[in-house]
Chains A and B, each alone.
Chain A
Amino acid sequence: MAAKKKEIAMITRQALGVTVEPTQKIEKIYVPTKTKKTEFLTGTPKEAAAKLVEKLKFEARVI
């Protein structure tokens, strides 16, 4: 293959005359820690629905 024999040209930043330095740095990449505590409601659909209505009415007091 002709492509295999081709010379791979390496171009450096200096050769291009690029003098700009990076302005920022990524210090760390991580999986974000969850800040909210989710309360899971379990049981049969009817039980879970009843628990939810109870929570929304008396705990969160939004309905």
Chain B
Amino acid sequence: MKILVIAEQRQGKWNNSSFETLVAAQQIASAGSATVSALVIGKGVAVLAGELASKNVAEVLLVEHDLLDAYTPDGYCAALKQVIESAKPDLVLFPHTYQVRDFAPKLAAMLGKGMVGDCVGFRSEGGKLIFVRQMFQGKTAADVTFTGAAPWFVSFQSGAFRADQLAAHPNGKAPVNAVSVNVNAADIRTKPLELFKEAKSAVDLTQAPLIVAIGRGIKAPENIAQAEAVAKAMGAELAASRPICDEGWLPMERQIGSSGQTVAPKLYLALGISGAIQHVVGMKGARTIVAVNKDQNAPIFEIADYGIVADIFEIMPALTEELQKAKG
């Protein structure tokens, strides 16, 4: 079986979930007999192709064109369709990024194929690949198989695989093969304008080793000071789930989740956060997760290492005190 991983870059910078998907590919390959190729698409991305070649892959496909400099769904699909038709992979894997959500279903449809999106894992049973995806906001899971002929298209959720498990190339580097593609300006129906950041972040939560996050359980803005005290005693940054930022109780830049930031700190302390999937995708990569919630059935406990079923207003002052004591 041939597996092709479509890695994602923007302006010469990797989207790190590309490497998680590469890990998924390596694991699928080792579960059966398969070869893994990786593909990078854009303009002036040969350096990135070289970087991919240092990983354990059979080959790296470099797809470059002037019209692929900035991402457009039409440009990417036109180019990738040609590559897939000539390279004939059985399985095409993507990281489930915003960009992939935009073009991958279109690409699959252009080839008359289906796509299983946002998978969280896979199993190999009797030579058959089964992909696991979440349904109903993660409350249920579904095993999905492909029934038609290859190629099959699959995207993996961010955080489903760990990029630090990526295997390096066993002896040096894999070959980088440039694939030329025909892309016509007339086929590209959208013109990307300048990229901009919605808000200038004063704080970079992705770099914070310790995070104390608050959710709806905090009840009122005047109570945030109590959570701030916990964060201060711990030396942590304060973050929040969406409702808190929607209310304007904390700035948007401190929002964690699918519409905020994705973080993977050493410690994530969730105070009064129920654990809706939109929040969980932004923090489940944390090494240690602590949840305090008065509802013992809150989904946040599903992913927590340590849990306290209690009123956060009783825990916060006690915890601040204990932390101060511990720091001496």
Contact bitstring B297-328, A, C-beta under 8 A = 1, else 0: 00001111111111100110011011101100
Binds A, one of B130-138, B189-197, B240-248: B130-138
Partner of B307, one of A28, A41, A56, A62: A41
Contact bitstring B145-172, A, C-beta under 8 A = 1, else 0: 1111000100000000000000000000
- Contact of A32 with B134 in the complex, beta carbons under 8 Å: yes
Q: For residue B140, which residues in chain A have a CB less than 8 angstroms away from its CB?
A: 29-32
CB distance from A39 to the nearest CB of B (A): 5
- Contact of B306 with A55 in the complex, beta carbons under 8 Å: yes
B-side interface mostly: mixed
- Contact of B267 with A50 in the complex, beta carbons under 8 Å: no
Q: Is B232 an interface residue (CB 8 A)?
A: no
Tell me, in angstroms, the Cα distance from A56 to B326 when the chains sit together. Answer: 11
- Contact of A22 with B134 in the complex, beta carbons under 8 Å: no
Tell me, in angstroms, the Cα distance from A62 to B116 when the chains sit together. Answer: 37
A-side interface mostly: mixed
Interface residues in B, total, Cβ within 8 A: 49
- Contact of B147 with A25 in the complex, beta carbons under 8 Å: yes
- Contact of A45 with B314 in the complex, beta carbons under 8 Å: yes
Partner of A45, one of B116, B130, B234, B315: B315
Q: Is B101 an interface residue (CB 8 A)?
A: no
B301 nearest CB neighbor, chain A only: A38
- Contact of A48 with B315 in the complex, beta carbons under 8 Å: yes
CB distance from B128 to the nearest CB of A (A): 9
CB distance from A4 to the nearest CB of B (A): 35
Partner of A31, one of B114, B139, B310: B139
Residues of B within 8 A of A (CB): 112-114, 116, 130, 134-135, 138-148, 152, 209-210, 234-235, 266-267, 287-288, 290-291, 301-311, 314-315, 318-319, 321-323, 325-326
